[in-house]
Amino acid sequence: MLRILLLFFGFCYVQAQDILSGTVFGDDESNPLPGANVYWLTTNKGTVSDVDGKFSMQKLPSDSQLVISYVGFTSDTLSIQNSKTIIHILKRKEVSNLDEVVVSKRKKTSQLSFLSAQSVLNVSSDELLKAACCNLSESFETNPAIDVNFDNALTGVKQVKMMGLPSPYLLFTEENIPTIRGASQLYGLSFIPGTWIESLQITKGAGSVINGYESITGQINSELKKPLTSERLFLNLFRSFDSRNELNVHTKVNFSSKWSANLFVHYNELKERNDKNDDKFLDMPLSDQVNILTRFQYLDTKKGWVSFLNIRILHDNKLFGQTNYTPKMHKNTTAVWGSEMLTKRYETSLKLGYVFPDLPYKSFGVQLSYSDHNQQSYFGFRPYDIRHKSMFSNMIFNSILSNTLHKFKTGLQFAYDHYDETVEVQSTNRNDSSVGAFFEYSYDSLERLRMVLGIRFDHHNHIGSFVTPRAHLRYAFTDTSSLRFSMGSGRRVAAVFAENQKLFGSARTVLISEFQGHNYGLLPEHAWNYGVSYLKGFQIGSIPLNVNLDLFRTSFVNQVVVDWETPGQVSFYNLDGDSYANSLQFGLDARLFRMIDARFSYKFYDVQIDYVAAKKQKPLQPKQRYFLNLGYVGDKLRADVTYHHTGPQRIPVTFQHPNGYESGAFGLINAQITYIPKPNFEIYVGGENLTNYKQSQPILSADQPFSSSFDSSLVYSPVYGRMIYVGLRYNL
């Protein structure tokens, strides 16, 4: 085995000696040129420089001539004698007696990648500004890839879904470090302010093995604003007509040419008691949240080092229930039903990366994170407390095999989670730990075929040892036509109560077949995801269009079934039979009249589960959804309008409806107009649910909240009606 490894690394070393690498600058070494053409004279072998002006390519025999060119600069031809790293500066062309010609193209704020092997939707910060976007859970209203639903009628929290499955089957990462999981699964999205986000990457299908084994339906990665490139000062003020207030302040400090830092401060509150549907319960909880993030960045391009350090603290307080609930007077009494939730969270993360200056294709990185999430809450007479401490570490090495067409990433990962949980009168704690190794190979041909093949081996103290394979392939028929295929498996240990806290806002009895033991006797979840997608770009007259078609299937080997099918009960048990989610999505993007972007999407879901009683469509999951977004961008004005149509949903049996029933279809309209009097100043006004649609009876037995038929969990549409807001943004 040792001989094989020596031969393998010896081969890689010898091949690496045949690699020529370098950096292309314009005018001087402070101006790297991305996209510069670098090729061998009289051949078709070449490459282009990356965003930092760096390139690497296979070397030809001695005395070969290398051509370097870039638009607006004088091309140079170099004689290459050895494999020494090249640092080359192109000189700008001298042009006189010519009028200036500016060619511009407005970049789409949300677009699918034609090049990536994975099905990735890139969402910029400009897209997030199209809606109120007070936090990450509200950042998907103008995005057809993600479905947003209210989780219950009390807490106001929104849950996102992908491919017909809820957020626990998505992997949420912040700059590729897992972040929203376990105790923070339900409310974690509301703890990330939208103004902090620089961009989002939404990946459909099983994600990369580098980020772990928990991704099943996809991954949502958020990139935060960077200290080096963010605004010196940013201010956002927001107020809705139902008295929700929000303040965001960002500042930036450059300590030196290598050190810089950000301070992000977020505060929101809602102090007014609103009951627009007259059920004597608050439509939205009374709340206040303080959220502070400090970021430090170190960058030394000459030596190849880059590092980020994040420190965040959060204090979030909520009160919900009947409109006249006062904790000092009514807590632990049957006079008025109410609830409080206090969440304190601390987290820190460190990312350290090194790029070999002479070999830009080779690098290594370390990711470290720690979080402490402490939630104390009660729902009427039902207490629920959870404290979740989590540690994560990842070591990654990147290099090539033979040439830059063949790249690989490999590394080691360690994760640890400790849970202390009190469910009514039952207290439990558990420790989850895992150690794993991964290897991912990518073939990056810009011509036809791209693929990413990954495998990882993990040992978990409760799951045991297991292998996670994943594959993503892209074949391009043309530059604007590509077909993708993906497959892979994922595993996770469900945090059953943290992920289903809406059950506490009801009188339902909790049933678990084996309450004792690790994770209440419930087995880890295991599923396979398969997908195929087609993306085609074309033009009709002067109108460019993109058409995409996705078909995905998630099939569970084991699942923790959450069974709401018996009145007055909610049961958790291991899957015995089939459980699958089939998802089909058709999308059309077009740019009309140069200033208007139009997006249309149709989605069909077939989500079936074998319950104890029978196989049924998953409740509160519509089979069909339609989406339409129109956006206008002018010099002084931006405007957006979005229409969501949600089809009928199956509502499980209740005391009031012993045979169950099907909800009606409904449509929602959101819109926003932004006026830009100055480049650094914006005033915006918008509205959500402009048609004022509300679920007629979101809380069952609202007039008898301490009765056995009380239930606030069966919500399929908005609880409150029209919401109008205004705000302003200022940046330097």
Task: Note the pLDDT tens digit of each residue in 682-706.
Answer: 999 999 999 999 998 999 999 999 9
Amino acid in position 706: F
DSSP string, 142-189: T-TTSEEEE--SSS--EEEEETTEEGGGEEEEETTEE-S-GGGTTTGG
Q: Please report the pLDDT score of residue 2 as a whole number.
A: 42
Average pLDDT over residues 638-660: 94
Biggest CA-to-CA distance, the chain? 91
> What is the predicted pLDDT for the residue at 95?
45
Q: Which residues, in sequence order, are CB contacts of 378 under 8 Å at separation 6+? A: 331, 339, 340, 384
- 264-293 burial, b for 16+ CB within 10 Å, e for fewer? bebebbbeeebebbebbbbbbbbbebebeb
Model pLDDT, residue 83: 54
Q: Does domain 110-222 have CATH number 3.40.50.970?
A: no
Q: So what's the pLDDT on residue 53?
A: 79
Confidence class of residue 88 from pLDDT cuts 50, 70 and 90? confident
Is residue 331 pLDDT above 50, yes or no?
A: yes
Strand partners, 69: 37
- What's the gap between Cα 368 and its chain centre? 19
pLDDT for the residue numbered 10: 47
Secondary structure class of 503 (helix, strand, coil): helix
Instruction: Report the DSSP pairing between strands 64-69 and 624-633.
Output: unpaired
- Report the side by side order of strands in the sheet with 509-512: 509-512, 569-574, 560-563
Q: What is the mean pLDDT of the chain?
A: 89
- Which amino acid, 494? A
pLDDT above 70 covers a percentage of the chain that reads: 92
> What angle is formed at CA 468 by the lines to CA 463 and CA 472, rounded to 5 degrees?
155
Residue 446 has what pLDDT?
61
Strand arrangement of the beta sheet that strand 170-174 belongs to: 110-112, 119-124, 197-204, 218-224, 170-174, 177-178
Which residue did the predictor score with more confidence, 515 or 167? 167
pLDDT in tens, 181-213: 999 999 999 999 999 999 999 999 988 999 999
Give the strands of the sheet with 158-162, arranged side by side. 147-150, 158-162, 165-166
pLDDT at residue 7 greater than cutoff 50: no
Ranges 10-19, 121-130, 413-422: which has the least confidence: 10-19
Give dist(CA 348, CA 294) in Å, integer. 10
Convert the pLDDT of each residue in 273-307 to its tens digit.
Answer: 999 889 999 999 999 999 999 999 999 988 889 99
- pLDDT over 50 (residue 99): no
Q: Is the pLDDT of residue 77 over 90?
A: no
490-510 burial string, b = 16+ CB within 10 Å, else e? bbbbbbbbbbbbbbbbbbbeb
CB 181 within 8 A of CB 167: no
Burial (CB count <10 Å: 0-12, 13-18, 19+), residue 304: middle
Over residues 171-178, mean pLDDT: 94
Smallest Cα–Cα separation from 711: which of 645, 630, 654?
654
pLDDT at 5: 42
Task: Name the nearest CA neighbour of 247 among 290, 309, 306.
Answer: 290
pLDDT of 376 strictly over 70: yes
Q: For 35, which DSSP code? A: T
- How many other CB atoms are there within 10 angstroms of residue 475's CB atom? 14
CB–CB of 252/260 below 8 Å? yes
Percent of the chain with pLDDT over 90: 68
In the chain, where are the structural domains located? 2-90, 110-222, 223-731
Among 26-35, 223-232, 234-243, 546-555, the range scoring the smallest mean pLDDT is: 26-35
Give kind and range of the element (H or E) at residue 253: strand 244-254
- DSSP class of residue 700 equals B
Q: In this predicted structure, which of 33-42, 246-255, 490-499, 614-623 has the lowest mean pLDDT?
A: 33-42
pLDDT of residue 173: 95
pLDDT attached to residue 440: 97
Q: Which of 364-373, 526-535, 651-660, 668-677 has the lowest mean pLDDT?
A: 651-660
pLDDT value, residue 320:
96
Q: What is the residue whose two structure tokens read 């400790």?
A: 418
Which of the four CATH numbers 3.40.640.10, 3.20.20.140, 3.90.1520.10, 2.40.170.20 does domain 223-731 have?
2.40.170.20
Q: What is the pLDDT of residue 30?
A: 61
Query: Considering the domain 2-90 in this protein, what is its CATH number?
Result: 2.60.40.1120
Q: What angle do CA 83, 445, 220 make, to 5 degrees?
A: 110
Give per-residue pLDDT as tens, 667-686.
999 999 999 999 899 999 99
Give me the residue label for tokens 């806290």. Answer: 501
Least Cα distance to 607 among 588, 633, 580, 628 occurs for 580
How far apart CA 373 and CA 624 sit, in angstroms, is 36
Contact status, residue 651 vs residue 657, Cβ threshold 8 Å:
yes
d(CA 644, CA 147): 10
**Which residues are paired to 511 by β-bridges?**
571
Residue 375, pLDDT above cutoff 80: yes
pLDDT at 161 over 70: yes
Question: So what's the pLDDT on residue 514?
Answer: 62
38-52, 471-485, 499-513: the lowest-pLDDT one:
38-52
Predicted local confidence at residue 62, as pLDDT: 62
